[in-house]
Amino acid sequence: MIPVKFDYIHAESVEQAIRLQQESNGEGKLIAGGHSLLPLMKFRLTEPGVLIDISRISQLKEVRKEGDRIVVGALTTHHAASNDPVIKEHIPLLADTVRQIGDLQVRNRGTIGGNIAHADPAADLPAAAFALDAQVIIQGEDGEETMPVDQFIVGPLITMMPENSIVTAVSFAIPPRHTRSVYLKYFHPASGYPVVGVAAIAGVDESGVIDFVRIGITGVGDIAYRAESVEQTLLGQTPSEAMIQEASRLAAEEGEMGNDFFTSSEYREHLCKVYTERALRSILLAN
């Protein structure tokens, strides 16, 4: 449980964080809140020669509205995001999701950027990120680039993060005003991580038919996904218990269900359906 020896340095700016990575010749690793990195180091699953602490870069803590998107600075903690007035007004699904991460101590240190960059298949945030068409904003040696979250996260703990770069923010699409949203999870009793986490947004138009629906699912396999079959089944329909049950049967369609000592893939598939059903019922049928 003791990490190997490492150097430690604070970066005061994004540019310095990139330069320090270049100078470390592949030995450097960014640290934000340390809530995922330090456990890995203690288990010696990663052994960086130098930790580059980015936690003082204040420009990475900003949350702002930019057109039809909300840009959330990478260093925004889960606690800050769950209480931010801009997030609560425009993308309440994000506030609802990060409010359910770990405990208060975890939410006080863990960051939006660190959670996405870590790409833990069991993390909560990817469900909301997929449902809200998140884009990851990356500053690297050759300037800034933006990657949709489904292209950024490509496997368990694997991302398309270029060398010597830093996630500066994650931006989320603002859903139409008339929609409602919810994040529901069935969590592992020991860790609190989702075994299945379902983030859902939906709304009906003036004639009473569903005109917007997005569903992101996390925790069940190596990678989060959008349940597009459920979305397609619901679009243009009048919400009803029968319709929701029929559509939710397809909740596992686009995902690969994991199989481990805690739950079988069959049970995960079942949980996907049940939690999608509950989420849709709460936003489409409850008053």
Ligand X SMILES: Cc1cc2nc3c(=O)[nH]c(=O)nc-3n(C[C@H](O)[C@H](O)[C@H](O)COP(=O)(O)OP(=O)(O)OC[C@H]3O[C@@H](n4cnc5c(N)ncnc54)[C@H](O)[C@@H]3O)c2cc1C
Phi first, then psi, for residue 75 (nearest 5°) are: -90, 5
By three-state DSSP, how is residue 280 classified? helix
124 scored as a contact of ligand X (CB under 6 A): yes
71 scored as a contact of ligand X (CB under 6 A): no
Q: What is the DSSP letter of 61?
A: G
Contact 230, 247 (CB under 8 A): yes
Among 14, 18, 37, 198, binds ligand X (CB under 6 A): 37
Q: Is the dihedral of CA 169, 98, 219, 175 positive or negative?
A: negative
By three-state DSSP, how is residue 241 classified? helix
Find, among 149, 144, 146, 158, the residue nearest to 112 by Cα.
Answer: 149
Cα within 13 Å of Cα(93), Cβ side? 37
Q: Which stretch binds ligand X (CB under 6 A): 19-27, 62-70, 113-121, 145-153?
A: 113-121
Q: Which stretch binds ligand X (CB under 6 A): 23-31, 81-89, 199-207, 239-247?
A: 23-31
Among 35, 69, 90, 226, binds ligand X (CB under 6 A): 35
List, in sequence order, every residue forming a beta bridge with 72; answer none if it has no partner. Answer: 63, 170
Among 50, 102, 173, 253, binds ligand X (CB under 6 A): 102
167 scored as a contact of ligand X (CB under 6 A): yes
Residue of closest CB approach to ligand X: 110
- Say how far apart CA 75 and CA 55 lie, in whole Å: 7
The residues near 125 (Cβ < 8 Å, ≥ 6 apart) are 97, 98, 101, 112, 115, 116, 218
- What string marks each residue from 193 to 232 as x (binds ligand X by CB under 6 A) or -? x---------------------------------------
CA separation, residue 99 to residues 80, 176, 257 (Å): 10, 22, 25
Q: Which lies closer to ligand X via its Cβ, residue 222 or residue 246?
A: 222
118 scored as a contact of ligand X (CB under 6 A): yes
Q: Which lies closer to ligand X via its Cβ, residue 35 or residue 273?
A: 35
74 scored as a contact of ligand X (CB under 6 A): yes
Among 73, 92, 110, 121, binds ligand X (CB under 6 A): 110
Tell how many helices (H) and how many strands (E) occur in the chain. 12, 14
# residues near ligand X by CB under 6 A:
30
Shortest CB 244 distance to ligand X, Å = 26
192 scored as a contact of ligand X (CB under 6 A): yes
Among 92, 114, 121, 203, binds ligand X (CB under 6 A): 114
Shortest CB 247 distance to ligand X, Å = 26
50 scored as a contact of ligand X (CB under 6 A): no
125 scored as a contact of ligand X (CB under 6 A): yes
Among 41, 117, 134, 251, binds ligand X (CB under 6 A): 117
21 scored as a contact of ligand X (CB under 6 A): no
- Say how far apart CA 212 and CA 69 lie, in whole Å: 17
- Say how far apart CA 223 and CA 157 lie, in whole Å: 9
Q: Which positions lie near ligand X, rule CB under 6 A? A: 29-37, 54, 74, 101-102, 106, 109-111, 113-115, 117-118, 120, 123-125, 166-167, 192-193
